[in-house]
Amino acid sequence: MKIKYNAPTTLTFSFFCALVVLLDQSLLHGLTRAFFTVPNAQAFDLLEPLNYLRLFTHIAGHADWTHLMSNLAYILLIGPILEETYGSLTMFLMIVVTGFVTGVLNACFFTHPLLGASGVVFMMILLASFTNHGKDDVPLTFILIVILYLGREIQQAFKGDDISQFAHLAGGLCGSLFGFFKPVKPLSRRFVPAVSHTGGSSRRTGGTDGGSVDSKRATINLSQSRKPAADRQKAPQRQGVPSDGARPSRQPSVKQPRRATKRPD
């Protein structure tokens, strides 16, 4: 038994967020504010290249360990399930897009700086509610999640605290769009014939129905070619012909002398 790195994108993102907080709290004080915080609308300078980087990196910055743990509890719980469904690369792109959307909205319309992965958390929560649904239906779990989580965030937005509820709403919107577009991980279809030597039958995994006849023929030919040598030697042999198929050598015939008989005179 060994430990498996089962969700590369989720785990790498979580470890990176923890590393940023660790460095900010111990060695590099001010690291989070310098590189992992989006300025507000008044302080965002379009001529500063670092601000464009902060539009993406702010999701890895957190104020303290309590802020980080509250987000990682959801990310590590929901992230591996979504990554298994959509794939690691797609999961990474969804996290990046969510961070960019929340960062741009904050830099354009709001007066408080933004940091933290709360938008990513709400993206995952809304996206997870789209499990097992068809093209023309809306899952009831999605409706309930919108009422419970996003409704609470709208109510909290009027209290004037230091929590950015708009980032939660923007992340939930991104998760809803991802769920409706449903970027499911592509599955590779492989044809693998399984040969049975006892019954001469074959089974196939994947592929199309047109390959079943070919697989049966291949199985029959394979089973016939692998018959034991003893079974092939049991065939009846013709008299005078060896079992190895070689013809016997022909020996020269010797003529017998004819005996003379006397006639009576």
Taking each helix axis from N to C end, the angle separating 165-181 and 88-109, rounded to the nearest 10 degrees, works out to 140
pLDDT score of 165: 77
Q: Nearest Cα to 81, choosing from 39, 40, 38, 129?
A: 129
Q: Is the dihedral of CA 171, 177, 178, 180 positive or negative?
A: positive
Segments in the chain below pLDDT 70: 132-135, 157-163, 183-265
pLDDT score of 162: 57
pLDDT score of 98: 96
Give 86-95 contacts, CB < 8 A, sequence gap 24+.
86/183, 86/184, 86/185, 87/185, 88/7, 88/8, 88/9, 89/9, 90/183, 90/185, 91/9, 91/10, 92/9, 94/123, 94/127, 94/174, 94/178, 94/183, 95/9, 95/13, 95/59, 95/120, 95/123
Whether 166 and 110 have beta carbons less than 8 Å apart is answered as yes
- Who contacts 153 (Cβ-Cβ below 8 Å, separation ≥6)? 122, 165, 168, 169, 172
- pTM score of the predicted model: 0.67
pLDDT score of 157: 64
Greatest Cα pair distance, the chain, in angstroms, is 158
Residues 34 and 54: their CA atoms lie apart, in Å, by 9
Give the DSSP H or E segment for 205: strand 202-205
Residues 232 and 35: their CA atoms lie apart, in Å, by 79
Q: Where are the domains of the chain?
A: 8-181
Mention the CATH class of domain 8-181. mainly alpha
Tokens of 181: 């577009």
**End-to-end CA separation in angstroms for the chain:** 115
pLDDT score of 213: 46
